Amino acid sequence: MNIGIFTELYPPSIGGQEIRFAELAQVFRERGHSVSVYCIAHERDLPGHEILGGIEIHRFPVDEHYQRPQSRLLPRNPITILKYATWVRGVLKARSFDLSLFNQWPLAHIAFAPHGARKRAVVDWCEVRDARFYRLMQWMLPRLSGHNMGVGPAVCERIGTASGRPVFYLPSGIRRSVYRSLPAAERRDILYLGRITAHKNLVFLIDAFARLKAAGHNQVGSLGGDELVIAGDGPELPALRTHAAGSPAAGQIRILGPVSEQRKIELLGASRLLAITSRREGFPRIVAEAMASGLPTVTARFPENGTRDVVDHYGCGVVTEPDVDAFTGGLVTAADRWEELSRRGLERADELDWQALAEQIEGRAVTDISKMKVQDSCAF
- The whole-number pLDDT of residue 183 equals 94
Higher pLDDT, 291 or 360: 291
- Domains of the chain by residue range: 2-173+353-379, 176-351
30-46 residue pLDDT tens = 999 999 999 999 999 99
Fold of 2-173+353-379: Rossmann fold (3.40.50)
Cα–Cα distance measured from residue 325 to residue 64, given in angstroms and rounded to the nearest whole number: 41
Query: What's the rounded mean pLDDT across residues 227-250?
Result: 97
Least confident of 64-68, 191-195, 200-204: 64-68
369/380 Cα distance (integer angstroms): 17
Mutual orientation of helices 338-348 and 324-336 as an angle, nearest 10°? 80
The CATH class for the domain spanning 176-351 reads alpha beta
- Whether pLDDT at 153 is above 60: yes
Phi/psi at 41 (5° precision):
-85, 105
Q: Please tell me the predicted confidence (pLDDT) of residue 270.
A: 97
Q: How confident is the model at residue 15 (pLDDT cuts 50, 70, 90)?
A: confident
pLDDT tens readout for residues 77-128 = 999 999 999 999 999 999 999 999 999 999 999 999 999 999 889 999 998 8
Q: Write down the pLDDT at residue 2.
A: 96
- Cβ 293 vs Cβ 353: under 8 Å: no
Task: Say yes or no to pLDDT of 152 above 90.
Answer: no
SS (H, E, C) the chain: CEEEEECCCCCCCCCHHHHHHHHHHHHHHHCCCEEEEEEEECCCCCCCEEEECCEEEEEEEECCCCCCCCCCCCCCCHHHHHHHHHHHHHHHHHCCCCEEEEECCCCHHHHHCCHHHHHCEEEEECCCCCCHHHHHHHHHHHHHCCEEEECCHHHHHHHHHHHCCCCEECCCCECHHHCCCCCHHHCCCEEEECCCCHHHCHHHHHHHHHHHHHCCHHHHHHHCCCCEEEECCCCCHHHHHHHHHCCCCHHHEEEEECCCHHHHHHHHHHCCEEEECCCEECCCHHHHHHHHCCCCEEEECCCEECHHHHHHHHCCEEEECCCHHHHHHHHHHHHHCHHHHHHHHHHHHHHHEHHHHHHHHHHHHHHHHHHHHHHHHHHC
Position 306 confidence tier, pLDDT thresholds 50, 70, 90: confident
Q: What residues contact 198, with CB distance under 8 A and at least 6 apart?
A: 236
Per-residue pLDDT band at 259 (split at 50, 70, 90): very high
User: Are the folds of 2-173+353-379 and 176-351 the same?
Assistant: yes
Q: What's the whole-model pTM score?
A: 0.73
